[in-house]
Chain A
Amino acid sequence: EAQVTQNPRYLITVTGKKLTVTCSQNMNHEYMSWYRQDPGLGLRQIYYSMNVEVTDKGDVPEGYKVSRKEKRNFPLILESPSPNQTSLYFCASSGWDSRMNTEAFFGQGTRLTVV
């Protein structure tokens, strides 16, 4: 089954304590991305990756890091979380199938609270 797996689903942490949200996809997609969802702002892109070792900033990258050492994994790292990073986070991957269709597949989301 095609899927994007995010962990954890829920996380409460304290200001300044480094954390990592993992994201893994099993579709051999080249493109992966992270978004944060906040009320009234929709999904804003944090970082994206076109392929292994190729990452770039999205619209709201401040305070976040990513890495793409393997095609399937795209972790989101918060080196020093702050309360304004409290949000709902989604990982996504997209690519082409044999019929030249494309769409994005999303993880279930990670609800992060920084206190």
Chain B
Amino acid sequence: AQSVTQLDSQVPVFEEAPVELRCNYSSSVSVYLFWYVQYPNQGLQLLLKYLSGSTLVKGINGFEAEFNKSQTSFHLRKPSVHISDTAEYFCAVIRMNNNDMRFGAGTRLTVKP
């Protein structure tokens, strides 16, 4: 079985400040890693994913994440946030052997003016 832990349930930041949303995972098999964003009253949108190759992954809207295998982490970062980044962010893993997907509990990012 695999599990995903998002270490912060809520992250308030001021506009133009940097932000890091933390995600750790555990799994008995190798996994792929994802971040999804959910804007208010909308569905899930893929931000970025790590399948293989460079451990630093760039996604949409200026977000990036770094896969750290030794620490089993996949933290999401943005150097300067905007009001429009206010949303819920979900870290997820897909098991390599069967495509089974599990999510973390989510981090609510609130960007204040």
A40 and B44 contact, Cβ closer than 8 Å, known pairs A31-B100, A103-B49: no
A40 CB → nearest B CB, Å: 7
On chain A, the residues within 8 Å of B101 by CB distance are 31, 33, 45, 92, 94, 104
Which residue of B is nearest A32, CB measured? B99
Partner pick for B105 among A41, A95, A100, A109, CB 8 A cutoff: A41
| Distance between Cα atoms of A48 and B106 in the complex (Å) | 21
Interface string of A77-108 (1 = CB under 8 A from B): 00000000000001010110000111110111
B35 CB → nearest A CB, Å: 11
A74 interface hit (Cβ, 8 Å): no
A-contacting 9-mer, from B65-73, B74-82, B90-98? B90-98
Q: Is the pair A108, B99 in contact by a Cβ cutoff of 8 Å?
A: no
B102 CB → nearest A CB, Å: 6
Interface string of B101-113 (1 = CB under 8 A from A): 1111110000000
Q: Is the pair B34, A42 in contact by a Cβ cutoff of 8 Å?
A: no
A27 CB → nearest B CB, Å: 12
Q: Is the pair A50, B44 in contact by a Cβ cutoff of 8 Å?
A: no
User: CB within 8 Å of B: which residues of A?
Assistant: 30-31, 33, 35, 40-45, 48, 50, 90, 92, 94-95, 100-104, 106-109
